[in-house]
Amino acid sequence: MKTRRLLLLFILIIATSSAFPQIAPQKYVAWLSNKANNPYSLSNPSEFLSQRALDRRARYNIPLDERDLPVTPQYIEQIAQVGVQVLNASKWLNFVVFQTEDPLLVEQVEQLEFVSKVEKMKRKTHIIRPVNKILFENYYPMSNEINGRSMSLHTKSSNMAYDLNYGEAYTQIHMVKGDELHKMGYQGDEMMIALLDAGFNSVNVNPAFDSLWIQERILGYRDIVQYGNDIFSQNISPHGAYVLSIMGANLPDQMVGTAPHALYYLIRTEDDASEYVIEEYNWVTGAELADSIGADIINSSLGYTTFDDPSQNHTYVDMDGNTAISTRGADIAAIKGMIVVNSAGNSGSSTWHYIGAPADGDSVFSIGAVDRWGYYASFSSTGPTYDGRIKPNVAAMGQGTAVVDVYGNVTYGSGTSFSSPLIAGCMACLWQAHLNNNNMSLMNAVMETASQSHQPDSLLGYGIPDFLAASQTLSVGENELPIHDRFIVYPTIFFDKLMIKNEMRTNEYITVSLLNTQGKLLQQKVFNGYHTYFYLTEQLRELKSGLYILQISYPSGFNAFKLIKQ
């Protein structure tokens, strides 16, 4: 992954435009003070949110709020009438990005009563297609193709793929047990992943993606950097194509991705030619688009730390989860119910070795990198965040990762850009299997069952995921065995100790038995019913990871609990 950059401390432009803090040549952001006179209403959200987006909010009890409302169109029109070119806007953060070479026009925009301030973006100049009224308004209505897709709970793949041949991708998917989800029939069906990236060179003609096109699993695409641009052009970055291949490639015996049956929407937010803060604003706009079309997961193999202009560089203090524009947008995306999977960064061996934005977000699933043997990859950015939180959240194979190049050949690449989509695809399969669970519960289940969840660190976070164990953990809540409130067993995800709280307090003897899923007795102890707490500790550490049954029996009754060994 090419490390991205973010500006938080804006400096003043010299010469004629010195009144405006810099954030890119000829490009500005107008922060708006309100959404008054808005023709859209929260009582009629289908005008600006797809049915999929509304279904997500309903499924997880996410209320609509003012951030869901588009920017007031009248405000956009008035800014355009000043004589500037409107590029894009953010409803979540309520800003409009525009372009002009005339500083007098910038002053006129700032004088508009609904504009609270204007900041200038510092960036290399490139041609941007003017945005007319029709094009901008089309940003919000959703296509019938996406609106028409519904999602049923716990739907499985039409083809139960017990014998998928992953080819060169086997090691990377098997390491995190993503192949076990595939064996159970979960390959990402009806889950939508939005990719925010730098370009998708030749994805439209690459044989690795034939099945995605034939089966209409690529729902659409958009260029936020340059509206109307061909994101599949051979002159554009192939980075997003590599990222997509890790999830969506389907070349049997050569390479199969982690979510070959998922739905995809491709969004270019990154201009690979330079590094300036406008890409942060593009990122937020892209995330809003992902939300509006009903995406479940965002994969962002991007990060922002330092810039082409050193005076705009981030500092570690900015990595507090609340400062960076992209981080603020990413956390809102999570509030709206999506899982935001983001590369931790490739700065582990550099002076700046910390994660970047938006990986520092407290609701962002930040992914570090390991090699094929599961050891920390030295380039992978580290935590913790400035405010002391564990980052990255987890890690996956990002060194020597199998990818498909623009010609359809399997090759290898390194970077957290590649560990991130590996996890994003597996998260789609996991969510397909447990659609009643919200984004945060899925992330927690993956972290709680990862390889070092008992002792997370700043290199790998909670460690390498075990998606089979995570799925079993989530199943505990969905398929409880009969239990009784006379006993409380914790932790339900254990490592080397189990504690049973006895609420019954009886003179009966109580037998506690630990069994595997085949019914084999692994450990048994008898306790005096007068005691409040019972403990199991012997040989628990040596047990294999997976699902176990704890039985508690006594002369007048019997209880059973499902537990997970991490």
Cβ-count burial 53-84 (b if 16+ within 10 Å, e if not): bbbbbeebebeeeebbbbbbbebbebbbebeb
The pLDDT score that the predictor gives to residue 555 is 77
Task: Identify whether residues 338 and 459 lie together within a single domain.
Answer: yes
Asked if the peptide bond before residue 252 counts as cis, ω within 30 degrees of 0, the response is: no
Q: Is 91 inside a domain boundary?
A: yes
When computed from its CA atoms, the radius of gyration of the chain, rounded to whole angstroms, is: 25
- Pair (217, 323) in one structural domain: yes
Using DSSP bridges, classify how beta strands 192-197 and 263-268 pair: parallel, antiparallel or unpaired: parallel
Domain end marker among 407, 438, 467: 467
Q: Are residues 93 and 208 in the same domain?
A: no
Domain count, the chain: 3
The HSE-up count of residue 334 (CA atoms within 13 Å, CB side) is 23
Nearest to 113 by CA among 85, 72, 66: 72
* Max CA pair span of the chain: 88
Region class of 94: left (phi > 0), else alpha (psi between -120 and 50), else beta: left
Q: In this structure, is residue 474 part of a structural domain?
A: no
Q: Do 291 and 263 share a domain, yes or no?
A: yes
Has residue 156 been placed in a domain?
no
Three-state SS string across 416-451, please? HHHHHHHHHHHHHHHHHHCCCCCHHHHHHHHHHCCC
Domain boundary among 467, 491, 518: 467
Mean pLDDT in consecutive groups of 10 residues from the start of the chain, 566 residues: 28 28 69 97 96 96 95 98 95 96 95 94 36 29 40 49 80 97 95 97 97 97 92 96 98 96 97 76 96 98 79 81 93 97 95 93 96 97 94 98 97 97 98 95 92 93 94 70 62 79 78 82 83 80 83 78 79
* Shared domain check, 185 and 297: yes
The reply to whether 267 and 336 lie within a common domain is yes
Task: Check whether residue 307 and residue 446 sit in a common domain.
Answer: yes
Query: What is the spatial distance between Cα 161 and Cα 413, in angstroms, rounded to a whole number?
Result: 27
Give the span between the Cα atoms of 97 and 224, in whole angstroms: 11
Q: Does 163 reside within a domain?
A: no
| Type and span of the H or E element at 246 | helix 239-248
- Tell whether 241 and 389 lie within a shared domain: yes
In a domain, 8, yes or no: no
- In a domain, residue 94? The reply is yes
Kindly state whether residues 437 and 510 are assigned to the same domain.
Answer: no
pLDDT at 312: 66
Q: Tell me, what's the pLDDT at 315?
A: 84
Domain at 203, CATH number: 3.40.50.200
Three-state secondary structure string covering 150-209: CCCCCCCCCCCCCCCCCECCHHHHHHCCHHHHHHCCCCCCCCEEEEEECCCCCCCCCHHH
Considering the domain architecture, whether residues 267 and 327 belong to the same structural domain is answered as: yes
**Residues 307 and 215 placed together within one structural domain of the fold:** yes
Dihedral sign, CA of 308, 311, 312, 314? positive
**Does residue 356 form part of some domain?**
yes
Among 467, 494, 518, give the residue marking a domain's end: 467
Q: Pick from 7, 369, 357, 423: which is nearest to 188 by CA?
A: 423
| Joined tokens for residue 508 | 């009966």
Phi-psi region of 285 (alpha: psi -120 to 50; beta: other; left: phi over 0): alpha
Separation between Cα atoms, residue 314 and residue 3, nearest integer Å: 12
**Which two three-digit tokens encode residue 343?**
């590369």
Return the CATH number at 551.
2.60.40.1930
- Cis bond leading into 421, ω under 30°? no
8: left (phi over 0), alpha (psi -120 to 50) or beta: alpha
Confirm whether 161 is domain-assigned. no
Q: Are 417 and 507 in a shared domain? A: no
Residue 317, Cβ density class (10 Å: 0-12 exposed, 13-18 middle, ≥19 buried): exposed
Range(s) of the domain holding residue 502: 480-565
Count CA within 13 A, CB hemisphere, residue 419. Answer: 36
pLDDT of residue 155: 52
Task: Indicate the SS3 state at residue 394.
Answer: strand
- Note the pLDDT of residue 145: 38
How are beta strands 297-300 and 339-343 bridged, if at all?
Answer: parallel
pTM of the model: 0.79
